[in-house]
Structure 1
């Protein structure tokens, strides 16, 4: 009887998680991932009880690539015990038959500064198109790729740091389809996420156009 109740509770929890994933699903190649109960999750990572957590799936478009992120709060690989490690994962999707492979867009990771200073920490990486990690997935997920030394733990562990507020952090994962110049990344990542998606994309494209126009004038 107890085992049956445990199985039922597990199924209910799994169903609730699926509903939550659907509610936060993004279809423009950008995910803002809120991680709650941060201190508890960090303790679990440090003790080895649960070393990684996965984001909800998100998509490059309604008929595009399916993706997710994996976060190691206490680090992984070269970042073990010193950094938070963040990885990007391609997932098997419904429209893979008609998509272009290998996947070859740059990935932008950002940890939100939740104060008015908005000094977000960000880093980028370019997936290796030769690797199987960027090829069409033939299982549920490809092998992850990303940044083992994303955020130093020393920053996160500081008392009253701006990145952990009310026991939560926010991480942005962004597929860079527009080839945003590095100089514009602070501006792009500072855009108010409350703006409509189309308006954000318009502002980003305008900034890119202005950047290259100014470059051509200078040259």
Structure 2
């Protein structure tokens, strides 16, 4: 909607600006479009008919926010103006061409029209309201004689004043309470509900008496109280095939105690054998479950709990370390389990710090991982480093091992706490093994060494 500097509303689709004959006016919330304007309810005029000077020639309704054409002096509604400008740009009364620059909002005429005395549109239906046109829209919104649709969506139409009665007594979609189970249901569903309601009373199907029972308790009546219900002998499970009514069952029980006792004895003996077989099978299954549980637990813990780092081109890398060209090598990151700690190894082949030139230094660091928020901090699990002997005979291998148990004191938080950067500072064995020991046995083979690291996860809290 476009508006003039003097705040007269011009509706969607119009590019018209209007000059007002009075001072600025408050913005109004108007219905857009000629079609909707024609659909608005029109009151009944106390004078009998609407005077032609107050009638819009375009929509034939009363002038609402009248706009005057300066060239010819005729009026139209503001809501009709956009269609007129878009289609013909001529006055609908005299067909004189009109210009968007020569339009005036007539406030005085608007006040005169709004002061006209009217009756309600529904006067013929019985509404006795009368007043001014200004008050008519407010009344019409609450008029009890307008047609409305049922709020429950049943499809009924009626005058608004009958809404309460329809909602309470007539609407098939109104909510009612079941008189038996007190459940809230839709009225049109009442009969299907009563067909399954557990509290609805029904007669015994065996017609044992004139008394009625709640549907939900009928089965209990048939099994325990009904004198006409045919049932099997209590020793049916033991092999007795007799069936009869409750009084007959009692008589049958008194006449055949020996037979029933013999059946019961045989059944007990059979059940004892079956129970023994069941216990044996149950114990066997229990043992298998324990074995499988241990295997699963072991597999879960071993997944990623150890890592072997292959370092090739050892001679070249050692020379680079001695010449300070590349003193430290880093392994790819690995995890202690599928969702565990993320770690990485680092090695100084020519030593680090005070061990430089004398020992091989081996370290580990904690890297930032995807599951850190689920893990326990600080890291406190024993780490075991192993330089693997590559001797072909496994019985003659002499691995070099070094274990580190982290001290979770406050000073070691930069090493063991949850990483806030890509990785923490490294910790481990500055004097892992002598440099001279590397050339003994078969720690170096095909110019390659292997470093194994194991993480003790016995005390790790499972996720």
TM-score with structure 1 setting the length: 0.67
Q: Does residue 100 in structure 1 map to residue 100 in structure 2?
A: no
Aligned 8 A contact 1:29 1:58 in 2 = no
Provide the C-alpha distance between the structure 2 equivalents of 1:81 and 1:164, rounded to a whole number of angstroms: 18
Aligned 8 A contact 1:27 1:58 in 2 = no
Structure 1 counterpart of 2:279: none
SS in 1 for 2:365: strand
Provide the C-alpha distance between the structure 2 equivalents of 1:135 and 1:71, rounded to a whole number of angstroms: 22
Q: Does residue 52 in structure 1 map to residue 325 in structure 2?
A: no
Structure 2 counterpart of 1:196: none
SS in 2 for 1:42: helix
SS in 1 for 2:408: coil
Deviations 1:150-207 (A, max 9, x none): 010011134xx3100000000101111238xxxxxxxxxxxxxxxxxxxxxxxxxxxx
Structure 2 counterpart of 1:146: 428
What does 1:36-185 correspond to in 2, within 5 Å? Answer: 36-115=312-391, 116=393, 117-130=396-409, 131-132=412-413, 133-158=415-440, 161-178=441-458
SS in 2 for 1:122: strand
- RMSD over aligned CA atoms reads 1.4
Provide the C-alpha distance between the structure 2 equivalents of 1:78 and 1:127, rounded to a whole number of angstroms: 21
Deviation of residue 27 (structure 1)? Answer: 4.4
SS in 2 for 1:33: strand
- Structure 1 stretches (4+) deviating beyond 4 angstroms? none
Aligned 8 A contact 1:84 1:150 in 2 = yes
Q: Structure 1 unaligned runs (5+)?
A: 1-25, 180-219
SS in 1 for 2:383: strand
Structure 1 counterpart of 2:305: 29
Q: Structure 2 unaligned runs (5+)?
A: 1-301
Alignment coverage as a number of residue pairs: 152
TM-score with structure 2 setting the length: 0.32
Structure number with higher relative contact order (C-alpha < 8 Å, ≥ 6 residues apart): 1
Provide the C-alpha distance between the structure 1 equivalents of 2:447 and 2:336, rounded to a whole number of angstroms: 29
Structure 2 counterpart of 1:186: none
Deviation of residue 128 (structure 1)? Answer: 2.2
Provide the C-alpha distance between the structure 2 equivalents of 1:78 and 1:177, rounded to a whole number of angstroms: 32
Deviation of residue 39 (structure 1)? Answer: 0.3
Provide the C-alpha distance between the structure 1 equivalents of 2:336 and 2:360, rounded to a whole number of angstroms: 25
SS in 1 for 2:433: strand
Structure with bigger gyration radius: 2
